[in-house]
Structure 1
Amino acid sequence: MAARFRMSDLGVLSYYLGIKVRQGKEVLTLGQSAYASKLLERSGMAECKPCVTSMEERLKLTKVSTATKVDATLYRSIIGGLRYLVHMRLDIAFAVGYVSRFMKDP
């Protein structure tokens, strides 16, 4: 490709689109812990305790609620971040998909 296109060597890839890349001789490791931490801080959940399951079992959410409205822009931003995180964390896919249903009117 270098013969056909003008290129420059930027060195070993270490961070790309929120994904930390660690390259070994035979192993390539990808991680999003820093991205997930920033997402927790933005949502105000950085101090929450971790849990084994990402969603309460048999949880029923409805579109009609008496709870106070949340900032729709922030909600959509957090859900978008979670959807990006799902690419590497399949264990949260169901919960993220479930709460994504409420993006129109959080």
Structure 2
Amino acid sequence: MLSYYLGIKVRQGKEALTLGQSMYALKLLERSGMAECKPCMTLMEERLKLTKASSTAKVDATLYRSIVGGMCYLVHTRPDIAFTVGYVSRFIEDPQEDHWAAVKRLLRYIKEMVDQGILFPKTSGSRLQLTVFSNADIAGDIDGRRSTSGVLVFLGSAPISWMSLK
């Protein structure tokens, strides 16, 4: 029986199939130096507006790229972070202190919700159901007036749930 696939923990039960990346998330926190950070319940500050023309100090671009890239992989089982990961990835070319602060806030959220994942309930004899999630900011990029958006589409016999996998 499949239990891990490309770092994604797969649990197949009689009632549901679950996908999670809690071990990967913990390794990401360690790699970023945030393993002992205080967790928080929100992804980012409300109405946060970052710009490429920031006047704050530069940060280690290699570490920034590594952590943001790792969070891109974590999005596979954590669609709740997709928008914020897309937002902080705008600054991957020349990251600065305020950009890194937003990444650290996201890491604190990941620590709070480390055991979250996707649950696919099993049902028999049901019709296929389309489930779609989306999020967007319209022209939210201060520098280029670009929008950030994300879409997640499931086709199955039951609605997909988002839940703690503990």
User: Out of 17, 31, 55, which is 1:42 matched to?
Assistant: 31
Give the distance between the partners of 2:84 and 2:14, measured in 1 at CA: 36
Match of 2:7 in 1: 18
Contiguous gaps of at least 5 residues in structure 2: 96-166
Q: How far 1:80 moved relative to its partner?
A: 0.8
Moved over 4 A (4+): none
Structure 1 distance, partners of 2:24, 2:93, is 25
Secondary structure in 2 matching 1:22? strand
Structure with the bigger percentage of strand = 2
RMSD in angstroms over aligned alpha carbons? 1.4
What TM-score comes out, normalization by structure 2 length? 0.53
Distance 1:44 1:68 in 2: 19
Q: Could you tell me which of 62, 65, 77 is aligned with 1:73?
A: 62
What is the TM-score of this pair, normalised by structure 1?
0.80
Measure the CA separation in 1 of the matches of 2:8 and 2:76.
11
User: Does residue 103 of structure 1 match 2:92?
Assistant: yes
* Greater RCO structure (CA 8 Å; 6+ sep): 2
SS for the counterpart of 1:98 is helix
Pairwise CA distance, 1:60: 1.8
* Equivalent position SS for 2:92: coil
Match of 1:60 in 2: 49
